Amino acid sequence: MDTNNLKLLQEWHQLLKDGLISEEDFTKKKAELLELPVPPFSRSTASVQEANKPGGFEPPKEDVTEIYIPSTPSENTSAPSNAGLSSEPQPHVYTDLFEEKKKTPWLMISVATLLLLATGATLAYFFYFKEKWLDDKSPRYVVSAQSVSLRSTKVAGVDNNYVAGVPYGAELIVYDYQPDWSHVKYKDKKGFVSSKYILNGTDFNLLNNVLGDATTKETIETHKCRIALLDYVKRVTTDTAQRPNWKVLTRPKTVKPNTIYYARVVNTSSRFTDFAFIIKNATSGERMAVLYSFNDDETPVFVTDQPAPADANITKVVFLLGNYYFYY
């Protein structure tokens, strides 16, 4: 098609759009310009039926299945709307999508925050609260020896497992108490201590009271002798309210004679020397001279006791004719 025919066809198309010519006129003109056979146009139903009968009119097939008619810049080329669909824009659809996109990052941030909080809570539980809970529910024991070694393993007498020295009166958190070794925590250190050198709070307070002053604590430094004192205070009276009245007061360690005395009296071939002491009731003024021996595992064994004179110090203890005699 040459340029003139194309322009003319565009003008006729515009007339069709403006309603100034009929579809039939436009089709005829288009066929004329394109040199195509003109199809029959009839609004009669009978004509349509006749055309559709076998052997009736059958329009020839066009070689061109679609004709593109370009529009000039001056033409109004707005396309007709689809039936049943609105050509108006629907801004709320885009608004909803935009709002959804705005919500998505905040949702991701919220989920990430919750995950971080959950992770932090879990770590806090395992690394702080769980241990704190375990510490809070574990019993407390107190060191009753002058000093005890905290060790990383249950082996005594070596240096490679030494953790720290724990002094008399130090409180320990005991995770597991066993007859030989106890798993404990001292300050921020964990390890094992020999169970025979620690006492529960009640027994320690009673022992600390029996060791009447600082001099006595320094003089009676052997742990098995301290346990002998504790054993006797529990033995001398069943009244727990009266037990704190009984105290041992000694002279300095180097002073002789003293209110304490060491010798093998009960068994001359014993592994340990026997322990004699004078204990006084601070309320009644009563004084008792007491003798203990020890088994090979250092367990104290009560031997005898008898009244002692006021302000006496022990110079000797002997066994004679089935009796024990204290000399002052």
Pair (239, 289) in one structural domain: yes
Q: Is residue 224 a part of any domain in this protein?
A: yes
Identify the domain containing residue 64 by its residue range.
1-78
Which residue, 158, 173, 199, sits at the end of a domain?
199
CA neighbours closer than 13 Å in the CB half-sphere of residue 149 = 13
- Report the C-alpha gap between 5 and 16 in whole angstroms: 16
- Report the C-alpha gap between 51 and 40 in whole angstroms: 9
Quick one: pLDDT at residue 8? 79
Quick one: pLDDT at residue 16? 83
Q: Is residue 107 a part of any domain in this protein?
A: no
Quick one: pLDDT at residue 173? 97
Pair (192, 217) in one structural domain: no
Cβ neighbors of 24 (< 8 A, separation 6 or more) are 41
pTM over 0.75: no
Please confirm whether the linkage preceding 73 is cis (ω < 30° from 0).
Answer: no
Residues of the chain with pLDDT under 50: 42-54, 56-86, 91, 93-94
Pair (174, 224) in one structural domain: no
Pair (169, 272) in one structural domain: no
Pair (192, 215) in one structural domain: no
Cβ neighbors of 225 (< 8 A, separation 6 or more) are 260, 275, 277, 292, 300
Quick one: pLDDT at residue 223? 97
Tens of pLDDT, residue by residue over 3-36, are 777 777 788 788 888 877 888 888 887 788 777 6
Pair (219, 186) in one structural domain: no
Quick one: pLDDT at residue 102? 58
Quick one: pLDDT at residue 76? 45
Pair (56, 145) in one structural domain: no
Pair (221, 286) in one structural domain: yes
Quick one: pLDDT at residue 14? 83
Pair (15, 48) in one structural domain: yes
Quick one: pLDDT at residue 128? 61
Candidates 317, 233, 212, 218; CA nearest to 275 is 317
Pair (264, 240) in one structural domain: yes
Quick one: pLDDT at residue 113? 83
Which residue, 179, 199, 219, sits at the end of a domain?
199
Pair (194, 226) in one structural domain: no
Q: Is residue 143 a part of any domain in this protein?
A: yes
Quick one: pLDDT at residue 82? 47
Quick one: pLDDT at residue 152? 97
Pair (241, 274) in one structural domain: yes
Number of domains in the chain: 3
